[in-house]
Amino acid sequence: MVKEIVQYPTTPSLEFGANIRHFDENLFKLIDDLKDTIEANNLNALAAFQIGSPYAVIVIKKEDGSYLEIINPRIIKRAGSVEPVETTAYFPKLSAKTKRYEKIKLMYEDREGKQQFLDAEGALAITIQRKIDYVFGSNFRVRLSDDERKLFDSKLEFGTDAITDNGCPTIFKRDRILQLFKLLFVTSILGLFASFFVNENILLTIKSIENYLMISMFGLIMVYFFYAQYEGKQYKNCSSCQIGNIIGTSAIELAKLSMIFILNYFIIW
């Protein structure tokens, strides 16, 4: 049966990591539920905790489509170190650079209760280590360096994997939108000034241009407002002050646009 996958911020209960003592139909059903859930969600592995069970059971889908069933796992040997970028269904759509052992030797039991040993390296070793974290009530966040953990916490806070830095830059890409708005604003002012010195035919042309300029400026304000918020979410350390700044800047630009509208109304229209 396909089960709902446990996701952050749900945490393990005090019963996590319970060893399997009875290799019976209840265990087989749990393993089948893990397999069904893996297939339904296009995953490569799940620990029992991830479908709400406290037992020490892991199921991994192999490249050939068969399954590796791991019960009561223990890592008894480890060697080397790697820093993979990992994803997990517990933190959907988020990733982080962790630190893992490159090679491990695993002791576990199969569904018949027989003791088994497995030498694993590469992607399989990383997957096993990540799932064992769940078996013992943890997740890959505990494997992160201090800097990586701060970055990942920013991703958790804003719910996006697009965050790449915790610092607050002095120049934002959104500033280019403001520069373009300023150019259109100055052009509009010049057009209004020129309207005092031209004949009626040219005045009609200026009126048409002014209308396009106002529409463009309004569009730029909207683009700035939404893009600035998206960009601001990528920098945790200065995001709290940015919202007020974005709203304030948008209000100022709208005030400028309103002034242009009023001047056009009384001078050209």
Q: What is the average per-residue pLDDT within 224-239? A: 72
Per-residue pLDDT band at 157 (split at 50, 70, 90): confident
Amino acid at 253: E
Instruction: Give residue 54's domain range.
Output: 25-158
Q: Specify the pLDDT at position 236.
A: 55
47 and 133 inside one domain: yes
Q: Specify the pLDDT at position 265.
A: 84
**pLDDT score of 240 more than 70:** no
Q: Specify the pLDDT at position 159.
A: 82
Rounded distance between C-alpha atoms, residue 124 and residue 203, angstroms: 73
35 and 148 inside one domain: yes
Q: Specify the pLDDT at position 186.
A: 93
132 and 42 inside one domain: yes
Q: Flag whether 20 is in a domain.
A: no
Amino acid at 99: K
Per-residue pLDDT band at 175 (split at 50, 70, 90): confident
Average confidence score pLDDT of the chain: 88
Q: Flag whether 168 is in a domain.
A: no
Q: How many domains does the chain have?
A: 2
Sign of CA dihedral 201, 203, 209, 211: negative
Rounded distance between C-alpha atoms, residue 247 and residue 81, angstroms: 47
Per-residue pLDDT band at 12 (split at 50, 70, 90): low
